[in-house]
Structure 1
Amino acid sequence: MAQRSGLGTAAPAAQSRETGGRAGRGALAGWAALVAGCFAVGAVLHGLGVLRIDHLPPLHAHFRVLTVTLLPAAAFAVVAVRNLPRWVGRGGFRRALFIAYGFALAWTFLLAISADGPAAPLTHPQEYLAVLPSVGQDPLGWLAGFTERLPGYPTHVRGHPPLPVLVVWASAAVGLGGPLWAAIEVILVGCSATVAIGLTVRRLAGEAAARRALPYLALTPVSVWIATTMDAFFAGVGAWGVALLLLGRGTTARTWCAAGAGVLLGALPYLSYGLVPYLVIPVTAALLVRLPRQAVLAALAGAAAVTCAFAIAGFSWLAGVAATHAQWAGDPGAARPYLYFLVANVGVLALVTGPATTAGLVRAGRHLLRCPAGGRVPLPGIVSAVPDLARRHGAAAVVAAALVAVLALDVSGVTRGEVERIWVPFAVWIGLAAAYAPGRRTLAAQVVTGLLLQGLVLSPW
């Protein structure tokens, strides 16, 4: 007999259980050691006064203890772990996507209301809504003078391009103003990444793989920051950009979908400067499906249209990058120790994606490279395995692309702390790896991680 391992290939059942068990235990131990080590070193650095602005490093947060208010989320988690894999595994795929999206919304909302509610993070005076009075009724005039007026804006506005402010301004202009409506918008769009990534996985690896991934996408620990950091909105926009790039039947539909994907993906650098490496993900997906030339051109045209629109309106992206970098260089965050956060940022990524993701990455790597537990893989073996990985495991390839993007940002040194929110658009993709180690225990480990993060971490986002 053979069994399916994670998102892909068959392996002898007894050997798979033995190897997978050892690899899973080792992965969990490594995950715990990395996370605990980052917090331990961070506590020492904070005690020495090296990290004054971070009270719970590597997180930009404080410690707290939630009790009874977390019970509704905990009760929901029990129901979700027991039933969600079964419910998304049967019936039509649209039904499965709808169920997964519903669970993602409920999980995210219940986590948020266990503390101060979903709108609370967006009421902070350094958030995007605080600058809306300066936009007034002239968004184009505000956009044209954005770079020159940057030093006088709140922290989050100074650290980002102007599009996030324009998004919340547009919502207010149609009668959906205020932090509550902004929070609802962020959660709806952020949780929709579950659907978009599910569609992408089905296109790359088949429907069975997508169904296995949906519970992990819906119940990801990073949901703590999907409610409600604006980076969750970025995650939804990026995920739908990738999905639309691969959707469409027939030449006409595919071209229009690709053009829409180009608009969404072209908007990412105007939502956050740090999302430029994110574009490795759609490029990888396009290469895997051998996107037709006409669709490629349509996507490039859509992205170019976004760039032209901002340029005509008077905003230079390069000038914005330079101005933001100048602001960042003078901020206390730039003085954080590079070497600590080089490692600690990876620890935060492991934390927000959960232990099942680490276990899935280890299990997938050993299986794909045909490496026994505890064995060593020579470099030529890794190199020769890459094309095979991309050909037979498209979902794993986009996970790898997301990891490359994160590592590029990490090494650059511009992400020194506060990455629990910055990693959100990447974490929703990397979390796909958890489906390589499927099971009720691994899904339970994910929701327990989310509950502990919500219950013990007081985050400004």
Structure 2
Amino acid sequence: MITTQTPPARTEAAFPTADRITTALAGALVAASIAVGAALNLSGAPVQAQTAPLFALWHPHLGVGTPAALAVAAAAVLHGPRLAAILPWRRLLAAGYATSVLWTLSLAMIDGWRLGLAGRLTAQAEYLTEVPAVTDIPAMLAGFTGRILDFQPDSWTTHVSGHPPGALLVFVWLDRIGLGGGGPAALACVLIGALATVAVPVTLRALGHEDAARVAVPFAALLPGAVWIGASADGLFAGLTSTALALLALALTSRRRAPAVCLALAAGALLAFACYLSYGLVLLAPLAAAVLPAAWRRGTAGPVLATAVAAGLAVVVAFTAAGFWWLDGYHFVVQRYYQGVAAERAYGYWAWANLAAFLLSAGPVAAVIGRRAVVTLRHDRAAHVLLPLAALVAVAAADLSGLSKAEVERIWLPFAVWLPAGAALLPAGSRRGWLAAAAVTALTVNHLLLTIW
């Protein structure tokens, strides 16, 4: 009798040629953006960012947070993938969240408590400058639009004017509950921003992909964007919006009606409120759409979406009734945008340099995950394929708008936190290497540069 043996399945190389090419191209993009930005700054046609493509100051330094940051990075790289595979689910989420908080705080403390955290939100251009004067919230909302344009005695500071009133409201509410001042506000940004490390895997698991969710945890915890989560309002936005999307996924996949309704109400209200945190967060729409396919198969999408939409509309009605009409605010903020330094930032440079800044925030692996998601989409529309692609669609739309020239390393954090959702697309043998690359990126940025707001 002649027998045949089935040949063993081929194991994908840890770093196949296509991934190496993608990484090289991404590296070339970052290098070109640095070189061209420096050349333009020296040639008399400045790009209005001293360390383009990042908005920062050149400042090589060590700090009290350096040993802690190195320790967290080493632990996450060496043990993260193994623990993500074996820990019970809730303990894994707790460990991921704790790692994210420690990573963000240790990176911030490289600059010290004042420069890295407590002083970030108290600068003249920031939100906390306006908080003491907000003694009447309804009056603030009613008169908000009239103070957006610059060159008038009572115009809002840069960050307040550039956002809808929800962003200022968050810091006013923190102040009202006794958490006023730069330190508590910065810690709130860190603690809320780190919720993305929980929200992303929770979303994947709710949509039926626990294995992918587990792989994503160490990547979400060690995101280079933690440099800007600690501490910026955009980090807080990332945590709130990712939590809203996780709630939506849980609502759409819940088998019990009462919890589904409660989750949908919370998700709808938070997603609508996000649009009053930043005008650009309307671009969460592709990410919200990416959670729908699994729900359609369960037949639960209709009622849950109707509930979420109703909750969202209630938020819109509340802001409108209080005197703030979103479209008016957007119209004036576009004018304010070009009253400032944005008018001097050349779109011809920033249209592509923005993408380099995004890679430094989302991590070098973002380009590889993006390429793999595009290739995989032809035969697989799983959540860990759709979510990173949806984030990249949002980034592309923001870039093409012309209203994001520089500073996107923090502005696009609500989209960057979703790239780790595609970590399961990476060959298993490469994952520690990519985690190390993420850590090196963050450590390099934070030790060579002093990031600004």
**TM-score under structure 1 normalisation?**
0.89
Q: Pick one of 392, 396, 399 that aligns with 2:385.
A: 396
Residue 208 (structure 1) aligned with residue 218 (structure 2): no
Show the counterpart of 1:373. Answer: none
Distance in 2 separating the partners of 1:230 and 1:295: 30
Shift of 1:261: 0.2
> Secondary structure at the residue paired with 2:207?
helix
Shift of 1:454: 0.9
> Secondary structure at the residue paired with 2:417?
helix
Show the counterpart of 1:23. Answer: 18
Residue 146 (structure 1) aligned with residue 144 (structure 2): yes
| CA offsets 1:359-388 (integer angstroms, 9 cap, x no match) | 33334444x27xxxxxxxxxxxxxxx2xx3
Distance in 2 separating the partners of 1:229 and 1:218: 17
Distance in 1 separating the partners of 2:287 and 2:127: 27
* Number of residue pairs aligned between Structure 1 and Structure 2: 429
Q: How does 1:58-77 map to 2 (within 5 A)?
A: 58-67=53-62, 69=64, 70-77=66-73
Amino acid at match of 2:130: V
Show the counterpart of 1:39. Answer: 34
Residue 241 (structure 1) aligned with residue 244 (structure 2): yes
Residue 355 (structure 1) aligned with residue 364 (structure 2): yes
Do 2:370 and 2:388's aligned partners in 1 also have CA atoms closer than 8 Å?
no
| CA offsets 1:65-99 (integer angstroms, 9 cap, x no match) | 12354232112211221112222221321111111
Q: Pick one of 273, 277, 284 that aligns with 1:278.
A: 284
Show the counterpart of 2:5. Answer: none
Shift of 1:13: 5.1
Gaps of 5+ in 2: 1-7, 150-154
Show the counterpart of 1:226. Answer: 229
The structure that is helix-richer by fraction is 1
Do 2:61 and 2:447's aligned partners in 1 also have CA atoms closer than 8 Å?
yes
Residue 406 (structure 1) aligned with residue 391 (structure 2): no
Q: How does 1:113-192 map to 2 (within 5 A)?
A: 113-117=109-113, 118-136=117-135, 138-151=136-149, 152-192=155-195
| CA offsets 1:107-135 (integer angstroms, 9 cap, x no match) | 00100111133222112111000011221
Distance in 2 separating the partners of 1:339 and 1:266: 33
Do 2:47 and 2:346's aligned partners in 1 also have CA atoms closer than 8 Å?
no
Distance in 2 separating the partners of 1:75 and 1:350: 24
Residue 255 (structure 1) aligned with residue 261 (structure 2): yes
Distance in 2 separating the partners of 1:283 and 1:209: 19
Q: Pick one of 425, 432, 452 that aligns with 2:444.
A: 452
Residue 91 (structure 1) aligned with residue 87 (structure 2): yes
> Secondary structure at the residue paired with 2:276?
helix
> Secondary structure at the residue paired with 1:14?
coil
Distance in 2 separating the partners of 1:196 and 1:175: 27
Q: How does 1:370-449 map to 2 (within 5 A)?
A: 385=378, 388-390=379-381, 393-437=382-426, 438=428, 439-449=431-441
Q: 1:250 to 1:307 in 2, by over 3 A?
A: same
Distance in 2 separating the partners of 1:359 and 1:235: 22
**TM-score under structure 2 normalisation?**
0.91
| CA offsets 1:22-71 (integer angstroms, 9 cap, x no match) | 22322221121111011111111111232253111121111111235423
Q: 1:13 to 1:81 in 2, by over 3 A?
A: farther
Amino acid at match of 2:307: A
Identity of aligned residues (%): 38
Distance in 2 separating the partners of 1:454 and 1:405: 26
Show the counterpart of 2:331. Answer: 322
> Secondary structure at the residue paired with 1:62?
strand
Show the counterpart of 1:309. Answer: 318
Amino acid at match of 1:331: G
Amino acid at match of 1:30: L
Show the counterpart of 1:7. Answer: none
> Secondary structure at the residue paired with 1:17?
coil
Shift of 1:15: 5.4
Distance in 2 separating the partners of 1:15 and 1:82: 22
Distance in 1 separating the partners of 2:239 and 2:314: 20
> Secondary structure at the residue paired with 1:16?
coil
Gaps of 5+ in 1: 1-11, 370-384
CA RMSD, 1 decimal = 1.8
Q: 1:231 to 1:68 in 2, by over 3 A?
A: closer
Amino acid at match of 2:43: L
